[in-house]
């Protein structure tokens, strides 16, 4: 189901399952904009979202999940720290609690990871990013894998399982496509999340080169990340493809084609260092987007995560010196040369 944006895709995917008084449980490391969506619009609609910080703690999961919980939400390659979610583990939790697992695979894309094979029942994408690839068409997608048994679920999903007198339920009408149909009829149709024909065409055009672009992005990202590790003005590189990264073994297991091109870099001198670096870049664009043909940088603490309190940002690892990179299709050597120019400015800070 195509939608008008990535946020629309997330909203449609969850609104069909949860209403006022219901809950969603999410892994803690997710895109900042999604956290804002959950904490503002979802909360206003009476839907609470609780976060699990240690996804290997069964006790934490069990404490978070209640009879009112309607789904578990996660991301494949969380933005901006590339701290890979172990979806096999989260899927085990979802099955143990008889819950559908919804996974945002915007950063990974199907070119790098087939999320359904790792246990996702429903997948959402912001097609604005890598799928379209050129930053000119805003869109989203909800993908129903048809794997969750809505008919025999112990949890209540009225829009899928029930129908007015004399009418058939979505399950009776569409079988294992019941969820996708409910998203289309009960949310996208009602709220107006549909895409325009031109947007649909642009998304389709971008998909034709997705695998090639992701291969190039990922190869370039790994080379840049390895180079950044060696620079004296860089204190840390959060890229799971690096052998030194704590998520590297998980990356080798679940991401044999690479871990994408969105990751974080810690710069010396905090916000001051980041400002000097960004102000001296010419090839890298200073923009909030990701997944474009152009390489981009942004300072999360003063952009995507600026509305969060200090404690939350600290727990998420969003420091004053963190810079988020989204590597595009420019020549890798040119990107490194431009970044070195920015780091030279950092090196001059007294």
Q: Report mean pLDDT in 10-residue bins for the chain, 350 residues.
A: 97 98 97 96 97 97 98 96 96 98 98 97 98 94 97 96 95 96 96 94 96 97 98 98 97 96 98 97 95 96 92 94 98 98 94
Q: What is the pLDDT at residue 295?
A: 98
DSSP symbols for 145-176: -S-S-STT-SS--HHHH---TT---HHHHHGG
Cut 0.85: pTM above it? yes
CB atoms within 10 A of CB 243: 10
Q: What is the pLDDT at residue 349?
A: 93
Distance CA(165)–CA(162), nearest Å, equals 9
Query: What are the boundaries of each domain within the chain?
Result: 2-203, 210-347
Q: What is the pLDDT at residue 39?
A: 96
* CA dihedral angle for residue 105, residue 17, residue 69, residue 166, rounded to 10 degrees: -150
The dihedrals phi and psi of 111, each to the nearest 5 degrees, come to -70, -25
Indicate the CATH number for domain 210-347.
3.90.1150.10
Indicate the CATH number for domain 2-203.
3.40.640.10
Q: What is the pLDDT at residue 343?
A: 98
Q: What is the pLDDT at residue 234?
A: 98
The dihedrals phi and psi of 63, each to the nearest 5 degrees, come to -70, -35
Q: Is 187 exposed, middle or buried (0-12, 13-18, 19+ CB in 10 A)?
A: buried
- With contact defined as beta carbons under 8 Å apart, do 188 and 14 qualify? no
Distance CA(90)–CA(265), nearest Å, equals 27
Q: What is the pLDDT at residue 48?
A: 98
């Amino acid at each position: 189901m195509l939608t008008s944006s990535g946020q629309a895709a997330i909203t449609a995917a969850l609104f069909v399952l949860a209403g006022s008084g219901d809950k969603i449980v999410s892994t803690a490391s997710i895109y900042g904009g999604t956290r804002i969506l959950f904490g503002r619009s979802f909360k206003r609609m009476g839907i609470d979202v609780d976060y699990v910080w240690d996804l290997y703690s069964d006790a934490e999961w069990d404490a978070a999940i209640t009879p009112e919980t309607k789904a578990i939400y996660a991301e494949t390659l969380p933005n901006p720290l590339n701290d890979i979610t172990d979806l096999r583990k989260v899927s085990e939790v979802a099955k143990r609690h008889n819950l559908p697992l919804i996974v945002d695979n915007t950063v990974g894309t199907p070119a790098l990871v087939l999320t359904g094979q790792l246990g996702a029942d429903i997948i959402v994408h912001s097609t604005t990013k890598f799928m379209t690839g050129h930053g000119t068409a805003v869109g989203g997608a909800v993908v129903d894998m048809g794997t969750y048994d809505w008919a025999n679920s112990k949890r209540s999903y009225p829009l899928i399982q029930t129908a007015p007198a004399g009418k058939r339920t979505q399950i009776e009408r569409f079988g294992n496509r019941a969820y996708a149909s409910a998203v289309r009829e009960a949310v996208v149709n009602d709220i107006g999340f549909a895409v325009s024909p031109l947007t649909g065409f642009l998304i389709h055009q971008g998909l034709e080169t997705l695998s090639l672009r992701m291969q190039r992005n990922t190869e370039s990202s790994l080379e840049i990340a390895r180079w950044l590790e060696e620079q004296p003005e860089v204190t840390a590189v959060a890229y799971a493809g690096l052998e030194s990264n704590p998520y590297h073994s998980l990356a080798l297991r679940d991401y044999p084609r690479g871990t994408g091109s969105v990751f974080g870099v810690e710069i010396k001198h905090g916000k001051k260092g980041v400002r000097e670096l960004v102000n001296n870049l010419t090839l890298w664009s200073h923009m909030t987007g990701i997944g474009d043909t152009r390489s981009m940088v942004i300072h999360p603490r003063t952009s995507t995560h600026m509305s969060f309190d200090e404690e939350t940002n600290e727990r998420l690892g969003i420091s004053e010196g963190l810079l988020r990179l989204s590597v595009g299709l420019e020549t890798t050597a040119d990107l490194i040369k431009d970044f070195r120019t920015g780091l030279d400015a950092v090196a001059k800070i007294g």
